[in-house]
Amino acid sequence: MLLDNISLFLLIVEKGSLAAAAREAGLAPTTVSERLVALEAHYGVVLLNRTTRSISLTEEGRALVDGARTVLSDVEELDSRIRTGAKTLTGLIRISAPEDIGRNIISGAIAEFQMAHPSITIDLHLSDGYVDIVGLGIDLAVRFGSISDSSLRVRHVASRKRILCASPGYLKLKKEPETPADLKDHNCLLMRFGQNIDNTWEFRQGDVKHIVTVTGNLIANDGALVREWALEGRGLALKSEFDSAGDIRNGRLIALLPDFEPPSSPLQILFPPGRAQPRRVRAFADHLARVFRDVA
């Protein structure tokens, strides 16, 4: 019963209210409230500050959230290993990934993994913005570039280039840039990451670094939308090779400034801090790393 109450407590936190957790679990709101009270009585502390409109975690509640996901995952894995055998992978994997790479690469990797392990359930969260992977209970996240949160465990899987590109239709209307300085005369399609706009683009020609501040009339926090704008001929885009290579091969986009290469950026798999991940998560991370190496 204790593990059931802990699981229900996590559901309350994830759903943001006792009423929403009750609906999700198919329980009466009074039952959810009683079981939360029983859990708090077991530990002798208040886990949630509750008002008529909101809930918030106490320090003790936050500590329980941090440890409970690991404990429940371990129990689930142990149960599956006993029931179905040590070689069978089963259970839920929560994944966070950028929009474009999630659709273009990770979706296919998931399909391959589930063909080999049909008892695996995947919950895929696609976002180009900041994601609190610990707070959302994410098992692994795929991210480009440097990682500011030093508490996360990082596995480097590949490096990727960014490619300046535009559609043939756009280049019929505007002269193709010959140097990074020429970008001031072009409409550049910009990505937003939280409060920051990616409008400082870097290029290298041998040992010489060129840094230009670009402008444009379209900004989005969705990489897939920036790609669509580029395909529609609405401006230049600086896209990951993972996102743009297919369009360039098929002639929908044209790579520009071949003598000026943007610096490579690491592609990494992130794991929340704490104990080792369940076997199913480690297996999927290994599979995903192989997929990225093949694509790269």
Over residues 92-103, the pLDDT tens digits come to 899 999 888 888
Assess whether pLDDT exceeds 60 at residue 85. no
Nearest Cα neighbor of 288 from 187, 142, 71 is: 142
pLDDT at 6: 82
The answer to which of 92-96, 114-118, 187-191, 222-226 has the lowest mean pLDDT is 222-226
* Whole-number percent of the chain with pLDDT over 90: 33
What's the CA gap between 5 and 257, in Å, rounded? Answer: 59
Nearest Cα neighbor of 27 from 44, 5, 56, 49 is: 5
**Interval 205-257: pLDDT, tens:** 888 889 999 999 999 988 889 999 999 999 999 988 878 888 999 999 999 99
| Architecture, CATH, for domain 89-155+266-295 | 3-Layer(aba) Sandwich (3.40)
| Architecture, CATH, for domain 162-263 | 3-Layer(aba) Sandwich (3.40)
- Taking domain 2-72, whether its CATH number is 1.10.10.10 is answered by yes
Q: What contacts 176, CB < 8 A, 6 or more positions away?
A: 166, 256
What's the CA gap between 28 and 18, in Å, rounded? Answer: 10
Q: Evaluate if pTM is beyond 0.85.
A: no
pLDDT band at 166 (very low <50, low <70, confident <90, very high): very high
Matching fold, domains 89-155+266-295 and 162-263: yes
Alpha carbon distances (Å) from 262 to 119, 238, 255? 42, 9, 12
3-state secondary structure of 168: helix
Highest mean pLDDT among 88-97, 154-163, 183-192, 195-204: 183-192
For the chain, the average pLDDT equals 85
Q: Across-strand partners of 247?
A: none
pLDDT at 170: 95
Give residue limits of the domains in the chain.
2-72, 89-155+266-295, 162-263
pLDDT top residue among 88 and 284: 284
Q: How many CB atoms lie within 10 A of CB 135?
A: 14
Assess whether pLDDT exceeds 80 at residue 203. yes
pLDDT band at 150 (very low <50, low <70, confident <90, very high): low
Q: Is there a contact between 104 and 223 (Cβ–Cβ < 8 Å)? A: no
